[in-house]
Structure 1
């Protein structure tokens, strides 16, 4: 059972997530979050010493479980690795281009030129995710499934290919939700290009 303190912390993060999405990082104040949470600003600062740290927690925690589930699909046991790449790509794009995650990513981009928030979010979220994907790709290299190439560079190319057809959606005010046929087709094209470049069978 979670302690009362941990439950309070989680409640603060949930409320802050709503406020940041409604008002953006710049216009959101700790006073507004505190008012919605209920309690004093001093109590809020006991949990998070700055608005930046609270936003980072929102960014990192809001979709971690879904990302973990997507990454777990990069497996070798139940499908060929190319099929695993397809499953991983679909799950990842569903997450990255969902309305909630798009709104958070836009907040980070908007703040990137004004503060270190963008870099800090990258360091605590995407960078860690990329490292974990690289570890999975390195396993495929070690097993002779993928060519012997730097796994970090390979990860960069894989993610770039997966997101390439929808990157511009980040700057659309009313981006449509991805349909399943769109996702499947776009990921299949990305995986085909990746496989031609890095799949051992393409030698």
Structure 2
């Protein structure tokens, strides 16, 4: 694993400090984090990213922020995953995001004209995304706008999360829904 290599850790710490300098007041941190040199960052003038302590952003991950992104302590964003915030994405502590995960707090607006021709605008319909503490998000999951994921949740691989997921459960599917809830110990 890359994070076990001392040179990767040193390079990632240097990238962390350089990004903090580059984006000045737009990236803040509550401690040290490891940010890969090949991870992509774009924070607009109106954007704000707040990193907790011990955040690891793996190679080829992508962060785009025109709104607010808050990532809690001890979070790992794996390779090729992307967070794109036009409004707000909030991630709690101890969250593991696997590879190829997309977390998008917006959809493009579109319309059909009288002839049935689709027109997509540059405007967005946005809604905040909140992910609780102790959450594991499996490979290739997509999380859409206006979603709250509770604490102590596992989201199964290839799921599409379009609605709220309660705490203390395993959820999977398209659309994603709870398949096992720890409180009642029953399967759906």
Q: TM-score, normalised by structure 1?
A: 0.24
Larger radius of gyration: 1
Higher-helix-fraction structure: 1
